[in-house]
Amino acid sequence: MVSRRRQVQPFSPVSAIFLALSVLVLSAGAQDDCSIDRNGVKYDLTALKGEHTVSRTRDTPPSKMVDSVRFDLCGELQQQKDVAEADQCPSGTRACLTKINQREGQPDRIVAVIPLAQTSGNREISPLSSPEGLSITFDGPSYPPSSDNSIPQSFNLTLLCSKETSDITFTSYEAGQLKLSWSAPAGCGHEAGEEPPKDEEGEKKPAESGETRMGSGIGWFFLVLLLALAAYFGLGAYYNYSTYGATGSDLIPHRDFWREVPYMLRDVVSHLCSAVRPRHSSRGGYIAV
pLDDT of residue 9: 47
For residue 246, count CB atoms less than 10 angstroms from its CB and return exposed for 0-12, middle for 13-18, buried for 19 or more. Answer: buried
Q: Decide if 241 contacts 21 (C-beta within 8 A).
A: no
pLDDT of residue 26: 39
Q: Give the whole-angstrom CA distance, residue 247 versus residue 237.
A: 9
Regions of the chain with pLDDT less than 50: 1-11, 13-32, 203-213, 281, 289
Q: Would you state the CATH architecture of domain 35-198?
A: Distorted Sandwich (2.70)
pLDDT of residue 19: 47
pLDDT of residue 170: 97
Q: 125 Cβ partners below 8 Å, 6+ apart?
A: 36, 38, 134, 135, 136, 137
pLDDT of residue 203: 47
Whole-prediction pTM value?
0.58
Q: Decide if 62 contacts 50 (C-beta within 8 A).
A: no
Q: Decide if 120 contacts 103 (C-beta within 8 A).
A: no
- What's the pLDDT tens digit per position in 232-282? 888 888 888 888 888 887 888 888 888 888 888 888 888 888 887 765 545
Q: Give the whole-angstrom CA distance, residue 112 versus residue 107.
A: 16
pLDDT of residue 57: 96
Cis-peptide into 253, omega within 30 deg: no
Q: Give the whole-angstrom CA distance, residue 15 versus residue 12.
A: 7
SS3 sequence of 197-238: CCCHHHHCCHHHHHHHHHHHHHHHHHHHHHHHHHHHHHHHHH
Q: Do β-strands 177-184 and 109-118 pair in parallel, antiparallel, or remain unpaired? A: unpaired
Q: Decide if 21 contacts 12 (C-beta within 8 A).
A: no
